[in-house]
Structure 1
Amino acid sequence: MKFTLAVIHTLALLFRQLFKKLHKGYLLGNPVTTEQEINYKIPFAHGMALISDELYESLQKNCNGDYANVETRNVLCSRDMSSFNEATSGLNSAHILDPVCEWLDDTEISPRRSLIKKYPSKFLTKNLKLPPLYCRSYPYFLCGFWANDDNVRKALHIHKGSIGKWHRCTYNIPNNADIHNTFDYHVNLSRKGIRSLIYSGDHDMSVPFLSTQAWIRSLNYSIVDDWRQWHTNDQVAGYTRTYSNRMTFATIKGGGHTAPEFRPKECFDMFSRWISKRPL
């Protein structure tokens, strides 16, 4: 019992410290919020000329705007969704202008990783050809070799045996997804007057900017700084709007799902201005 109370007390202190740190605010990029994001992929795809007017109108008519919960008995909607999936197949949903490249894993279970480890002299031969340099999976793959190099880990003061191998993305962590909608968290934080910056790369189809705009609008706060351009180096970097709950929404022109990866300069300028409480 004493141990349980000690843990609860420790957690309470941690949450109190975290809340104090929120005086600067919080920021989110292309965030999954309501798990209804698919409902906005269709209008996004239409606006980006990825599907025809006829298909878009048919989807609206036959699916009644609900593309997340399509009933199998709704044959017309299912047919239109199949047409939509076919029309958008072969696209990189994280950034619709980026090529679709092979995702190279840097783990031991990757066949290519195993071959490179077994035959290092053939690393750059035609038998083990890596994807073109313009593919983002290429540096993703190489960063695993860099981060796990003994000399690099020593330079980073990582004590041998203290932590395991570094992975850029770890998908095998056991977990239960029990929070399917974070909208109420934004409601509570807004009521407390905590600042926030919500941004969207405008070429992301995974979590389209339209879906983010929709849940922000549903907070029903008045606009204090209406829709306008924001700039970097005298060039349009995106568009922004600020609400009375101290929430700022911004798009990153040309950005994808991980906007700072695609537009680092613009995102750095955006964050620097926001964190110093200056208008974008």
Structure 2
Amino acid sequence: MYDFFGTHALISYDNLRKIRRYCDFSRAHESAECRHSLLKTDADVWNAIDVYNIYGPLCLDGNLTSRPRKTSLMNFDPCSDYYVYAYLNRPDVQEAMHANVTKLTYDWEPCGDFNWVDSASTILPLLKELMENGLRVWLFSGDTDGRVPFTSTQYAINKMKLPIKTEWYPWFYGGEVGGYVQVYKGDLTFATVRGAGHMVPSIQPVRASALISHTSSIANAEV
């Protein structure tokens, strides 16, 4: 993700150079130089913008209102997480969903501190297994997602050393570029969604729908 930050003017090239030089990310304890560069990144990026949607607005008022705010399919509300949090913690909603039947004393959280000790370090072997069994694989990224950026996905795909079947090209929806696609031999397709962050359907719902509904057409560049 730090390469993404550096190429999108979120951190300085000097800081990116230091991260590349001093940070390993596989060690339990990084060097002092690495920690200093990461702290600078925290100040410049993580504490300053929404890294899940780097060009999107921040939620400046997460307070709930007595009446629902006007929603828009085209304009993503950065405060929507607060509404979901409040809604899913209502006792009547949890009862209707048959959730929290053990009556936990703390609120539901979208991302809890779960100590997952047996998670795989990479899903590349799984992708290879799917492809070897004749399943078509599609990977897609919003191109303004800084948390799991398209650059990281591309690095991972490159490790698979798949020959390129169809070179990088734009796909279109409504006469405009909806994103870009590259197809690899072995039935793996990588696509981007232009102007979308981490939660692609929330931020670019029309293009996300086009991507999912017209995968075969996108393989031919036009939806």
Match of 1:136 in 2: 78
Alignment match of 2:14 (pick from 54, 78, 85):
54
Match of 1:45 in 2: 5
CA distance in 2, matches of 1:134, 1:263: 8
Match of 2:220 in 1: 279
1:68 positional shift: 5.5
Q: Secondary structure, in 3 states, of the residue corresponding to 1:242?
A: strand
Instruction: Name whichever structure is richer in helix by fraction.
Output: 1
Taking structure 1 as reference, are residues 82 and 171 closer, same or farther at Cα in structure 2, changes over 3 Å only?
A: closer
Q: Are 1:226 and 2:167 matched, yes or no?
A: yes
Question: 1:59 is matched by which residue type in structure 2?
Answer: I
Match of 1:251 in 2: 192
Matches within 5 A, 1:149-168: 163-164=98-99
CA distance in 1, matches of 2:215, 2:56: 28
Alignment match of 2:58 (pick from 96, 100, 104):
100
CA distance in 2, matches of 1:213, 1:103: 36
Match of 1:217 in 2: 158
Match of 2:29 in 1: 71
What is the identity percentage for the equivalent residue pairs of Structure 1 and Structure 2?
A: 23
Unaligned runs of 5+ in 2: 68-74, 101-106
Alignment match of 2:138 (pick from 197, 207, 219):
197
Match of 2:181 in 1: 240
Unaligned runs of 5+ in 1: 1-40, 105-111, 117-122, 125-132, 154-159
Match of 2:118 in 1: 178
1:223 positional shift: 0.9
Q: Secondary structure, in 3 states, of the residue corresponding to 1:248?
A: strand
Question: 1:185 is matched by which residue type in structure 2?
Answer: L
Q: Are 1:269 and 2:204 matched, yes or no?
A: no
Matches within 5 A, 1:111-150: 123=66, 135-138=77-80, 141=83, 145=87
Q: Are 1:90 and 2:48 matched, yes or no?
A: yes
Taking structure 1 as reference, are residues 43 and 70 closer, same or farther at Cα in structure 2, changes over 3 Å only?
A: farther
Match of 1:81 in 2: 38
Contact 1:260 1:267 survives alignment (8 Å): yes
1:171 positional shift: 4.5
Contact 1:70 1:77 survives alignment (8 Å): no
Which one has a bigger Cα radius of gyration? 1
With normalisation by structure 2, the TM-score equals: 0.76
1:173 positional shift: 9.8
Q: Which has the higher contact order (CA 8 A, sep 6+)?
A: 1
Question: 1:218 is matched by which residue type in structure 2?
Answer: K
Contact 2:142 2:195 survives alignment (8 Å): yes
1:148 positional shift: 6.9
1:162 positional shift: 6.9
Question: 2:187 is matched by which residue type in structure 1?
Answer: R
Q: What is the number of equivalent residue pairs in this alignment? A: 205
1:179 positional shift: 1.9
Contact 2:182 2:191 survives alignment (8 Å): yes
Contact 1:95 1:257 survives alignment (8 Å): yes
Contact 1:201 1:251 survives alignment (8 Å): yes
Q: Secondary structure, in 3 states, of the residue corresponding to 2:59?
A: coil
